[in-house]
Amino acid sequence: MNRTPRFLMTGALVLAGATATLLLTGCQTGDGASWLKVPWGPVTEAEAKAIGTEAYLYGYPLVTMDTTRRVMTNVSKFEPAKLRAPMSQFANTRDYPTAALKDVTAPNIDTLYSTAWITVGAEPWVLHIPDMGDRYYLFPMLDAWTNVFADPGQRLGVKGGDFAVTGPGWKGTLPAGLREIKAPTDLVWIVGRISCTGTPEDYQAVHQLQDQLSLTPLSAWGKPYTPPAEVPINPAVKMEVPTRDQVNAMDAGTFFNRLAQLMKDNPPGAADAPITARMAKLGIIPGQPFDVTQLAPAVARGLEAGRLAGQEKIGNEIKTIGKKVNGWQITFTGEYGVNYPFRAAVACFGLGANRALDACYPVAMVDADGQPLTGANKYVWHFADKASLPPVAGFWSLTMYDASWFFVDNPLNRYALSQRNDLKTNADGSIDLYVQKDSPGADKEANWLPAPAGQFVLCLRLYWPKPAFLDGKWAPPAVKKLP
């Protein structure tokens, strides 16, 4: 009787010079497990660079998420000033962030964050969201690769409730009253947002809602549960270095070893098989240590060159993703498939981005003439009338960032303009927003968005955008340079 081998891809890569041989364990032939050697042939420096570039783009979001988690949870107790809290505990912002916030790129000034990191590999966690009434809120959940896999909120008609977030391998029966949300990875980031006008009265109302948020391990559900008052911290974590800088500073050996270890509990998806197979040629295998010193020198050089090339591609990708309309880049984030460059760019410059149906973020880096936006010039963003303003079922805002995607410090402590502002209209009913470094004058200051001295980025946030935008019938007008 003929027997067709079925291969279980687990094992180790043996590197002799520049020749790679994969040792596969558990090759099921019907006669028991055995070893199978599959020679791949020489790996050249050029091929190592090509694989390294692809692998860097592929793994950048996972390493960035883990680095961000390490910083945001490496505290003994909740630190409201920096949006940090221990694992499985909520960090609730009590007021809007300032230019001092460097933990998260592209923060918003429209909602108060309630974020938490959990791992659901050992057991599920139960998330309790209080009844939000008619207030706009959104609680997207990101897997370890930055894909949004669930987004309870106002758009879906979810007022609140109890949600059991289960891991990819969990099987069981949940207690009555719990709604299951299955996570595709062990690591989960809950990035809650609750709208707030910023007045003292509304701050208090939102604080009361935040105080009702909770996370409970399933084993403690229905029983009294109090999270630890204080937890140990890891002094080796670089708490004051922006996470993006930490990731970008990792050499190839550090980066790919971290990636390989993280892929054990946050496994690649089925669609990732081609890239993970190519990574295995260099010994980058989920769950196994990666030692770059075991590579031939030329291969190691190629891998490091690939890392640098991948980093450069991320910087270039953010300038070209999406479609360009009137100088704005319009992209739909939160779900990426195998578009690894796109996913990496969003992770680098806008970690925590939502699904397009929940929120969209058109970005402008150039003016109407295609020239980079800079504080050396003065600009105007013009609307013919109020009906021409961004079409949303929630609300919109225009946020200013410096070239590194952080808030711009300014005398007004104003980082965005939105429909919450008392925007002045012109005599003909039109509306002009002034984007520049210095005040346009007292009579126009209500419509002024302060800019830095150097280059900057504008981000238009549309919360719960209407079909007119999603279908392309409405687009943001160009930002025009003033004489």
Tell me, yes or no, whether 396 and 335 share the same domain.
yes
Model pLDDT, residue 96: 83
Predicted pLDDT at 7: 27
**372 in the same domain as 326:** yes
- Are residues 168 and 85 part of one domain? yes
Does 119 map to a domain?
yes
The answer to whether residue 228 sits within a structural domain is no
* Three-state secondary-structure class, residue 193: strand
User: Based on the number of CB atoms within 10 Å of its own CB, is 483 exposed (0-12), middle (13-18) or buried (19 or more)?
Assistant: exposed
156 shares a domain with 109: yes
Please indicate, yes or no, whether residues 205 and 104 belong to a single structural domain of this protein: yes
Residue with structure tokens 């925007």?
423
Residues 194, 286 within the same domain:
no
Q: Which of 185, 220, 255 is the last residue of a domain?
A: 220
Q: Quick one: pLDDT at residue 106? A: 77
pLDDT for res 350: 85
> Which CATH number is 400's domain given?
2.60.120.600
Q: Are strands 456-465 and 125-129 parallel, antiparallel or unpaired?
A: unpaired
Looking at residue 104, what is its pLDDT?
A: 66
Q: Where are the alpha helices (DSSP H) in 221-364?
A: 243-249, 252-265, 273-280, 297-320, 340-349
Q: In this structure, are 133 and 96 located in the same domain?
A: yes
Final residue in a domain of this structure, among 220, 235, 259: 220
C-alpha–C-alpha distance, residues 357 and 334, integer Å: 10
CATH code at position 136: 2.60.40.1610
| Residue 12 is assigned to a structural domain of this protein | no
Domain identity same for 332 and 433: yes
Q: What would the pLDDT profile of 423-465 be if each residue is shown by its tens digit?
A: 999 999 999 999 999 999 999 999 999 999 999 999 999 999 9
Q: Which residues of the chain have pLDDT under 70?
A: 1-41, 103-105
- Complete DSSP assignment for 40-89: EEE--HHHHHHHHHHHHHHHHHHHHHHHHHHHHH-SSS-BGGGTB--TTS
Domain assignment of residue 158, yes or no: yes
Cα–Cα distance, 367 to 327 (Å, whole number):
6
Q: Tell me what pLDDT residue 103 has.
A: 63
Yes or no: say if 70 and 119 are a contact pair by the CB < 8 Å rule.
no
Listed residues 203, 220, 237: the one ending a domain: 220
21 found inside a domain: no
Same domain? For 283 and 355 the reply is: no
Residues 446 and 356 in one domain: yes
| DSSP state at residue 373 | P
Do the domain assignments include residue 410? yes
**467 and 375 housed in the same domain:** yes
Is 347 a member of any domain? yes
**pLDDT score of 38:** 38
Would you say residue 237 lies in a domain? Answer: no
Residue identified by tokens 């570039």 is 53
Structure confidence by residue, pLDDT tens digits, 19-44: 333 333 333 333 333 333 333 457 99
Asked if 315 and 326 sit in the same domain, the reply is no
Instruction: Please report how the helices 297-320 and 340-349 are oriented relative to each other, as an axis angle in degrees rounded to 10.
Output: 70
The predicted pLDDT at position 230 comes to 85
Full residue range of the structural domain in which residue 144 is found = 75-220
Domain count, the chain: 3
